[in-house]
């Protein structure tokens, strides 16, 4: 459960960071104004997606039945 809370926090904070970077693009030098917000957005979506994806798998010990 804590992994899902962490993923939600990363998603929300990353979204806020992305929007603030997108609004203040002119403060970043040159091409960084276009690249940095995209990288932040990719990480904002990618990290929670990986957490959600890997949290659905469980290891069932030997001798146990998993449904």
Per-residue pLDDT tens for 4-57?
899 999 999 999 999 998 888 888 788 888 888 899 999 999 999 998 888 888
Buried b (16+ CB within 10 A) or exposed e, 49-62: eebeeeeeeeeeee
The average pLDDT across 61-65 equals 86
Helix/strand/coil (H/E/C) assignment for every residue in 6-66: HHHHHHHHHHHHHHHHHHCHHHCCCCHHHHHHHHHHHHHHHHHHHHHHHHCCCCCCCCCCC
pTM above 0.85, yes or no: no
Residue 34: predicted pLDDT: 82
């Amino acid at each position: 459960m804590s992994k899902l809370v962490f993923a939600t926090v990363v998603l929300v904070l990353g979204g806020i960071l992305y929007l603030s970077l997108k609004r203040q693009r002119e403060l970043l030098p040159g091409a960084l104004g276009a690249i940095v917000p995209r990288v932040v957005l990719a990480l904002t979506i990618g990290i929670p997606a990986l957490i959600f994806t890997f949290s659905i798998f469980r290891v069932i010990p030997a001798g146990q039945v998993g449904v």
